[in-house]
Amino acid sequence: MGTPRLQEPSFLILSALADEPRHGYALLEQVSLLSGGAVTLKVGSLYGALDRLAAQGLLVVDREEVVESRLRRYYRLTPRGVEVLTQEAERLSRQAAAALQRLRAGQAPA
């Protein structure tokens, strides 16, 4: 069985965690940034996705801290999360390259 395909929000969440652990609000900002503003997650959607990705073993809680009397939970990728994100990014890259190749071929002069 191959690597599961990720829905766009999950792909963006994992991508946002690729370079460093982040807390929820920072993840919301990064997802918007990574998508060029095309994907804006609601808080409930984010935490539902984080729970699902954690249950799949793709991320874990890195640490918790209290900031202004509020708990801030940081998440990080697991080795499995890095593997899945890498494979999905490579798959998407191959598909995009194939689409661009066909577009260029279709625009060649007759």
Report the C-alpha gap between 100 and 87 in whole angstroms: 20
* Global pTM exceeds 0.85: yes
pLDDT of residue 108: 66
Structural domains for the chain = 8-106 (1.10.10.10)
Tokens in use for 14?
A: 């994992």
Instruction: Give the three-state DSSP class for 93.
Output: helix
| pLDDT tens readout for residues 25-75 | 999 999 999 999 999 999 999 999 999 999 999 999 999 999 899 999 999
